[in-house]
Amino acid sequence: MTSTSKTDHVLTDHAGSGQMQDWVQVDVRTSIDAGELLGVLNDPAVTGAWQEGEQMHLYWPGHCCGPDTWQGLKQALVQLGQVDPEQAITINRLPNEDWNAQWSRLVEPIRIGRVIIRPSWKDVPLQTGDIELVIDPKQAFGTGHHATTHLLIEWLQHCVTPTDRVLDVGTGSGVLAMVALRLGAETAVGEDVDPVAIDCARDYAQTNGFDGQLTLVVRDAQAARAQDWFNPTLVLANLDRQTLLLAADSVCAYASGGARLLLSGLLVDQRAEIEAAYAARGVYVKAVREREGWLALEATGMESCEGGLCS
């Protein structure tokens, strides 16, 4: 997923050189989603984020942060409704160490229904009907551990059909598009505004044997589509509240053309705002799933109300 998406983010060397450097870890006690905070913060120096319940961990290269960084972080938290951000923030300088390797040692395989997502160094016994993806942590979202990714992978197992053409908006690592293909979708396109995420997704696609089925492109979710652009039957948008709102025109255009939408990246109290914004464009929520305070919504355009819906 993109930097404004749900946060299964992995910290790597910012310059890509493999050299070690000091890092600053900022711990924030907050219920705000890390992806939404990164979108509001809009700081190109922030290299990664990880969220555990109401504890958020943000990382900066040591040479790229200072008083202006912390002031910007506080302002972003206030903008998103954080009370007393000064008391919520703890700043720690980390020793010179390969944090990506440290994180990798902690990654465990995950089972979601019959979908197994695992790092390459950990084998998992497969049962009849299981499907498997090998995803090694890199500088991209989407290892499957966040509740919103879990929700959509769970839902996809009940709604993908052999004729589906899947568009994964804000694809990140490409995991949702790859799951849809493993479940039998005809073809899939994953798009993301972040070229680093697309590079990672292409590596994952090659590792998992999707070279011919999965197209991965750098594209802004808000961008208008050309008439000859991919015509999906199922659109996945695991983003965040702000991006779902900004991309509403583009995403709803697919629903108006008959595509089913699976939207996620929302907290429970954000549902009404998203539902109203999409309804104003003729797209209506038909089903809802919840996990750990996060939501996934299925929506269709007015003319699709009698069509085949996910359940």
The single residue listed with the structure tokens 């995403």 is 251
Q: What is the pLDDT along the chain (311 residues), one digit of tens a residue?
A: 333 334 343 333 333 334 456 778 888 998 887 767 876 787 767 766 676 778 888 888 788 888 889 999 999 999 888 888 889 999 988 765 555 565 566 578 889 999 999 988 888 999 999 999 998 866 444 556 778 889 999 999 999 999 999 999 999 889 999 999 999 999 999 999 888 788 889 999 999 999 788 999 998 887 777 666 789 999 999 988 888 999 999 999 999 999 999 999 888 999 999 999 999 999 999 999 998 888 999 999 976 544 444 54
Report long-range pairs for 69-77 (Cβ below 8 Å, ≥24 apart). 69/43, 69/45, 70/26, 72/41, 72/43, 73/26, 73/28, 73/41, 73/43, 76/37, 76/40, 76/41, 77/28, 77/30, 77/32, 77/37
- Domain stop point among 72, 102, 132: 102
3-state secondary structure of 251: helix
CATH number, position 41:
3.30.70.980
Instruction: Tell whether 272 and 288 lie within a shared domain.
Output: yes
- Domain stop point among 102, 126, 145: 102
pLDDT of residue 3: 35
pLDDT of residue 101: 60
- Asked if residue 241 belongs to a domain, the reply is yes
Instruction: Tell whether 143 and 219 lie within a shared domain.
Output: yes
Instruction: Tell whether 132 and 271 lie within a shared domain.
Output: yes
Domain that holds residue 162: 107-304
Instruction: Tell whether 123 and 180 lie within a shared domain.
Output: yes
Instruction: Tell whether 285 and 166 lie within a shared domain.
Output: yes
Looking at the 3D structure of the chain, how many domains does it have?
A: 2
- Asked if residue 114 belongs to a domain, the reply is yes
Please list the residues that pair with 235 across neighbouring strands.
167, 261
- Asked if residue 309 belongs to a domain, the reply is no
